[in-house]
Structure 1
Amino acid sequence: MNTFRSQFACLCLASLLLGGCASKVSHQSAQLDGKRLKLAEERLSNFLTQSCVDGIDSDVKLSWKAYAQQETYPATLQAAAPASLRLALTDPLGRPLLLLGSDGKTFTLADNRKAQGYRGNTELKFVRRFLPSFIPMDDLFLWLSGRVRGERMQTAAARTDAEGTLWWHGGSTDGRTAHILALDRQNRLSRHIVMDKKTDEILFEARYSGYVKTAKACAWPGKINLSGKALEADYSIEFGEIFGYGPLDKQRFEVTLPPHFTVKEMTDKD
């Protein structure tokens, strides 16, 4: 990756904000039908309808790994539903490196070391290399918080394994991808897999772990690992101290570039 791409990669992983090749459903799982399927449907419904936080303010640790290289950055993260994000990366000594702000439609990125700014819209092909096009931008906070927009799921089937994990198979509304959700015994999302329906290849997978309680019914994931064919690297985001859960002012996600910065307007040619 060139310098800007590698920097932006670390920032964009939080937009799903974020190794290795994902595995498919356990061979030890059993298909559910009848009364057991009805109970599984109730369990999924409870997961989808829980009251959840709509914002977060936290210290995080971001990592990416590709081409036998790995980098890790301390950072602060503010995010709010549906797709607002502010992410500030620092070096190990606490000096500011990069600042990203986005309202879900446009973004501004400030590189403090080079006095360089970047601006553009979030549907650029470049951005979609890190946030694949099959993930709607307005689902960004859902992916970050370990949630799912139920209306995007069509017909489904369910399986369960010896650990009590519920595996839920659903077709997406785009007709090209299939989703597999794994809910643990506490009804928290542990894996969300997006597969190509034609090839059965795993395009994208988010693994969630280390959940912590919030003031709402939903817990918050302590760590997210992202991988899959649609990504150029494996990413992770690990939450440290959490200062609060939304709501956050819109102004929090605005980044004003200093007058001495050189500004580049990003296009699909970049």
Structure 2
Amino acid sequence: MKDKSVHYCFLGLLIFVLTGCVFPAQPSPVPEPVEYIVAEPERSELINAFKRMLAGQQDCAPCFDANVTLTFNSWLKSGSVSGFLQAMSPSFIKFVAVSPLGQPFLLLSTDGDQFHYIDVGQAKVFEGPVRTETFSRYAPKGFKPEFGYYWLIGRLWPGRMVITTVTGEADRQSYWIDFASSRDGLHSRVLFDPVRLVIKQHDLVDAGGNRLTRIHYGNHSQGACPLPGNILVESSNQHETLTLIMVWNETNQSYDEHDFEIDLPRSFQRIFVK
């Protein structure tokens, strides 16, 4: 029987791809970074570079697959699991965890609305809508499970965005871009690299200035659509982390909705999550 830490690790991925966060939302104050307000004409130049990045997202393939090593760490538990990931815009995700012998033992699939989580060893299938009470306990408001693909590739989902402030870090290598708050009072801050045209960090902040979650993106690939090789998700108190090491495969993959379906064995116990 697999160590329970592996299940915590895999469930961490489940919460991340379904809701955009791994841990219960316990707000913590956003630390005061060393920043300066970006003035004109630098501000306009940075916003134009950011718009080029957004426009360049059309160069990103709608489908990706990758080999993934997933590691979960906390004060009480830790674990690691490797497997294969498939993703398709805007919300389709499938992850298969495999043993050292290449045998699948845990599977997750979601279309951004419904999910299936299969524990092969226990012959159980957990399924239900992503917007259940179970998952809402773990996810801060404002995350959009219907855009799970964009969280994984370190991009922003389509839609109207209003930039409020632009601040620069002291090294002038990266710049923070703040967006107008949504109806629930939350807003995003992204750390933007204007040279590589990538997002290095994405924070979700509430109306009181408290950070709810933070996602780091690093080790980006080359090409027209740089993809993050490392994704680090921090809980609000920074005592729990989820790390994904991604090895992206060829980007000319072509999937459809049926590729994200999982044949459920009739002998498995099916448990509906509320």
Is the TM-score greater than 0.5?
yes
**Stretch moving more, 180-189 or 75-84:** 180-189
CA contact (8 A) 2:37 2:168 kept: yes
2:233 alignment counterpart: 226
CA contact (8 A) 2:69 2:80 kept: yes
Aligned to 1:45, which of 9, 27, 51? 51
CA contact (8 A) 1:177 1:196 kept: yes
Please state how far the C-alpha of 1:39 moved relative to its aligned partner.
Answer: 1.0
Aligned to 1:188, which of 198, 216, 219? 198
Structure 1: which 5+ runs fail to align? none
Aligned to 1:13, which of 6, 13, 16? 16
Secondary structure of the equivalent of 2:61?
coil
Secondary structure of the equivalent of 2:46?
helix
Please state how far the C-alpha of 1:232 moved relative to its aligned partner.
Answer: 9.0
Please state how far the C-alpha of 1:11 moved relative to its aligned partner.
Answer: 3.2
2:251 alignment counterpart: 244
CA contact (8 A) 2:92 2:111 kept: yes
Structure 2: which 5+ runs fail to align? 23-27
Calculate the TM-score normalised by the size of structure 1: 0.86
Cα distance in 2 for partners of 1:124, 1:233 equals 23
Distance 1:152 1:236, change over 3 A: farther
Deviations for 1:7-61, whole angstroms, at most 9, x for unmatched residues? 422333345587xx8964631x221122111112111111211122222111101
Secondary structure of the equivalent of 2:41?
helix
CA contact (8 A) 1:154 1:173 kept: no
Matches within 5 A, 1:1-270: 7-15=10-18, 16=20, 24=31, 26-27=33-34, 29-50=35-56, 51=58, 52-149=60-157, 151-161=159-169, 162-184=171-193, 185-198=195-208, 200-214=209-223, 217-229=224-236, 233-267=240-274
CA contact (8 A) 1:165 1:183 kept: yes
Distance 1:86 1:39, change over 3 A: same
Aligned length: 262
Please state how far the C-alpha of 1:173 moved relative to its aligned partner.
Answer: 2.0
CA contact (8 A) 1:11 1:87 kept: no
CA contact (8 A) 2:6 2:81 kept: no
State, as a whole percentage, how many aligned pairs show the same letter.
19
Deviations for 1:58-114, whole angstroms, at most 9, x for unmatched residues? 110111112332111001000111110111012334332211111111111111001
Cα distance in 2 for partners of 1:218, 1:241 equals 12
Distance 1:197 1:82, change over 3 A: same
Alignment RMSD (CA, Å): 2.8
Distance 1:231 1:83, change over 3 A: farther
Cα distance in 1 for partners of 2:130, 2:10 equals 16
Secondary structure of the equivalent of 1:39?
helix
Cα distance in 2 for partners of 1:17, 1:219 equals 23
Cα distance in 2 for partners of 1:243, 1:132 equals 34
